């Protein structure tokens, strides 16, 4: 009898973090982060293309007070185990706005979600939005020079949310 699957646990692993990454465009960063998730066993080989295809129809760019953030993701059937791949970018790239596809948002941070339980999608998005709404967290992420710093920032803010909302 194996351990029960903990679908509420979102892995934030240094292997899934890129710091001040030089990229051409949204397709480039989606492919890089998707590749990290795939090569580390978090997602199926269909995941990266599914994220890109979804992004074209349902864009995920968000304008925070401090910077632009994109939260690309796709359906749970493409995911083996939950994780978030994170990139801070050397130079901003354009994502279209979530809920406003005609709006272009200059993005410096990409949080690519891999969620394997449909019941957890809203919960995970709430945690991510909590970080996006925290100006200090975003400033720290933009200033971070190591994968460990970014991991620690995400963990600290998700822990604070868990304490606040359970």
Q: Please indicate, yes or no, if residue 36 is contained in any of the structural domains.
A: yes
pTM: 0.91
Q: Please indicate, yes or no, if residue 108 is contained in any of the structural domains.
A: yes
pLDDT at residue 109 in the model: 97
Local structure of residue 146 (DSSP, 8 states): S
Q: Please indicate, yes or no, if residue 46 is contained in any of the structural domains.
A: yes
Residues of the domain holding 67: 14-165
d(C-alpha 116, C-alpha 73), whole Å = 11
Radius of gyration over every alpha carbon of the chain, rounded to an integer in angstroms:
15
Within 13 A of 29's CA, how many CA atoms are on the CB side?
A: 33
pLDDT at residue 120 in the model: 86
Residue ranges in the chain whose pLDDT is less than 50:
1-8
Total number of domains in the chain = 1
Are the CB atoms for 47 and 114 separated by under 8 Å?
A: yes
Q: Please indicate, yes or no, if residue 23 is contained in any of the structural domains.
A: yes
pLDDT at residue 164 in the model: 60
CATH code: domain of residue 32: 3.40.930.10
Q: Please indicate, yes or no, if residue 6 is contained in any of the structural domains.
A: no
Q: Please indicate, yes or no, if residue 3 is contained in any of the structural domains.
A: no
d(C-alpha 134, C-alpha 138), whole Å = 6
């Amino acid at each position: 009898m194996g351990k029960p699957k903990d679908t509420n646990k979102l892995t934030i692993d240094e292997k899934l973090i890129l710091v001040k990454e030089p990229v051409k465009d949204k397709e480039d960063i989606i492919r890089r982060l998707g590749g990290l998730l795939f090569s580390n066993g978090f997602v199926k080989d269909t995941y990266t293309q599914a994220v890109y295809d979804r992004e074209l129809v349902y864009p995920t760019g968000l304008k925070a007070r401090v910077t632009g953030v994109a939260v690309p993701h796709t359906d749970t059937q493409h995911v083996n185990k939950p994780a978030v791949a994170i990139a801070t970018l050397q130079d901003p790239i354009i994502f279209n706005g979530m809920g406003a596809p005609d709006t272009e948002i200059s993005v410096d941070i990409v949080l690519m979600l891999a969620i394997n339980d449909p019941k957890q999608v809203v919960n995970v998005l709430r945690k991510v939005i909590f970080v996006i709404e925290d100006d200090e967290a975003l400033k720290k992420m933009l200033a971070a020079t190591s994968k460990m710093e970014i991991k620690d920032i995400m963990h600290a803010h998700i822990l604070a949310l868990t304490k606040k909302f359970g």
